A and B are shown apart, each in its own frame.
Chain A
Amino acid sequence: MSNEHTVKSYEEELQFLKDSLIKMGSLTESQLSDAMDAVIKVDKDSIDKIIKSDEEINKFRSKIDTQIMNLLVKRAPMAIDLRETISSLKISQDLERIGDLSKSNAKKVKPLPLDLPDELLGNLKRLGELVMKQLNDVLDSYVNKNFDKAKEVWEKDEQVDDLTYIAMESVIDFLSKDKKNLDFSTHLIFATKNLERAGDHITNIAETVCYLVKGEYLKGSRPKGKVIHE
């Protein structure tokens, strides 16, 4: 934005809101990445730290809520400022949900045996990496107000669906080999599903960024990958 607000404190409040959201975004990124690592490495020591970082994310969410309420009451934002304010509200909700899913994944590590075969975790790892890349890209698109990049993320969720399907297949395959795998395999299935749902929140954010930049919602339905039976 080339022009600044005539009222300096308004400018500062909007900037403060954007900064808070960016910080919340990077916190969500590290939490997602830590939770993924914990699952892949079956690292039980990091569980508490991940749960704790979720509290941080939740605090950001309520801080952002307050900032938005104040902006709406004090400034009655219009046009781009209105879209910026409302988008922050929506994006912070999606980030918080991604945080919850990461926390849930960290909790899934507890019952996992330490000697899980590599081929079982390989597909889950690929899925996790893709979801992390998606989150990173969508946050970049927010920071740079990049419509095309946001749309790319939105379209790429199809790949998340496909990888989820593949990761699920390998868990089910493993499970079918031996019934005693049932207990922890269920946890792996949930962890996979959580990643897929995190991907959905990321596409929500991508849609919000598109609206923020252009003032119009994306038209048509998003390309979908293989459907997983629920």
Chain B
Amino acid sequence: MSNIKIKSKNLDVFYGDKQALFDVNLDLNEKEVTALIGPSGCGKSTFIRCINRMNDVIDICKVTGNIEMDGMDINDKNLDVVALREKVGMVFQKPNPFPKSIYDNISYGPKIHGKGETKSELDEIVENSLRKSALWEEVKDRLDEPGTSLSGGQQQRLCIARAISVNPEVILMDEPCSALDPIATAKIEELIDELKKTYTIVIVTHSMAQAVRVSQKTGFFHLGKLIEVGKTEKVFKNPDNKMTQDYITGRFG
């Protein structure tokens, strides 16, 4: 049995008067991929932003209820958010490399987190991160070139390399392939398969087929509520909830 890495209990999120999440109870297993699906605005991105406290940057956002990582209260006022985000990396829909060299894109995080004090240590982190994100062979001779000079798919793998350079425990991916072509998507999916041996991964996706391919567990959100969560295979072959079935079969009006 897998250990629970992240546990949310009665989680509510408000943006001002508007409630975005209602009483979400969801466990994410360690070293597994959990896919979150649901129509736009259903709260899946809001949910993953609770895991690394990204919602803190929105003034009117209020989070109540409980969300824990390894038993630690993520919403604790005294929690060091920088340290939390070191443990919980994030990759976004559109690749967003820093306007810096490929090398600096990777080394920036470790540097500010006080890792890799010497050049050779940093070199090692950069190489390892690029290898883990399956990009090393393609960029090893051009590390000084700007990250933005890479193709979209390569940029997204660079962002994944950047996320894993600080040795996180959890990686959040918010539609990481929606701006990529099928081959670049396949490479990211292949990478996710590899990364799940080391990291706990949460992926928000609008592609059902992708959710089936990459995840072991799937949660379906609708209007801020977690409607159904279960083994991916079960959810896509024989979901318990009619709303889930309507959504995944394309019957949502």
User: Quick one: closest B residue to A77, CB to CB?
Assistant: B249
A79 to chain B, nearest CB (A): 5
How many angstroms from the CA of A15 to the CA of B200 in the assembled complex? 42
Q: For window 1-40 of chain A, which residues contact chain B by CB distance below 8 Å?
A: 1, 3-7, 10
A83 touches B250 (CB 8 A): no
A78 touches B238 (CB 8 A): no
Residue B194 at the chain A interface, CB threshold 8 Å = no
A83 touches B238 (CB 8 A): yes
Q: Determine chain A's interface SS by DSSP, over half rule.
A: loop
How many angstroms from the CA of A80 to the CA of B247 in the assembled complex? 12
Given A215-B237, A215-B238, A216-B238: A80 and B208 within 8 A (CB)? Answer: no
How many angstroms from the CA of A48 to the CA of B236 in the assembled complex? 47
- Residue total for B at the interface (Cβ-Cβ under 8 A): 15
A5 touches B209 (CB 8 A): no
Residue B119 at the chain A interface, CB threshold 8 Å = no
9 contacts between A and B (CB under 8 A): A1-B251, A4-B251, A5-B250, A6-B253, A76-B209, A78-B208, A79-B244, A79-B248, A83-B238
- Tell me which residues across on chain A come within 8 A of B236, comparing CB atoms: 78-79, 82
- Tell me which residues across on chain A come within 8 A of B209, comparing CB atoms: 76
B245 touches A79 (CB 8 A): yes
Q: Which of A7, A75, A82, A216 has the most CB of B within 10 A?
A: A82
Q: For window 118-165 of chain A, which residues contact chain B by CB distance below 8 Å?
A: none
Given A79-B236, A82-B237: A6 and B252 within 8 A (CB)? Answer: yes
- Tell me which residues across on chain A come within 8 A of B251, comparing CB atoms: 1, 3-6
- Tell me which residues across on chain B come within 8 A of A4, comparing CB atoms: 251
How many angstroms from the CA of A7 to the CA of B249 in the assembled complex? 10
Q: For window 219-250 of chain B, which residues contact chain A by CB distance below 8 Å?
A: 236-239, 244-246, 248-250
B236 to chain A, nearest CB (A): 5
B250 touches A80 (CB 8 A): no
- Tell me which residues across on chain B come within 8 A of A6, comparing CB atoms: 250-253
- Tell me which residues across on chain A come within 8 A of B253, comparing CB atoms: 3, 6
Q: B58-76, CB under 8 A of A: which get 1 and which 0?
A: 0000000000000000000
Residue A43 at the chain B interface, CB threshold 8 Å = no
- Tell me which residues across on chain B come within 8 A of A79, comparing CB atoms: 236-239, 244-245, 248-249
Q: A78-B208, A83-B238 are in contact. List 11 more A-B contacts (CB 8 A).
A: A3-B246, A3-B253, A5-B250, A7-B250, A75-B250, A79-B238, A79-B239, A80-B245, A81-B249, A82-B237, A215-B237
How many angstroms from the CA of A73 to the CA of B252 in the assembled complex? 21
How many angstroms from the CA of A10 to the CA of B252 in the assembled complex? 13
A11 to chain B, nearest CB (A): 9
Q: For window 79-98 of chain B, which residues contact chain A by CB distance below 8 Å?
A: none
How many angstroms from the CA of A137 to the CA of B111 in the assembled complex? 72
Closest 4 CB pairs of A and B: A215-B238, A3-B251, A78-B248, A81-B249
A30 to chain B, nearest CB (A): 34
- Tell me which residues across on chain A come within 8 A of B249, comparing CB atoms: 5, 77-81
A76 touches B238 (CB 8 A): no
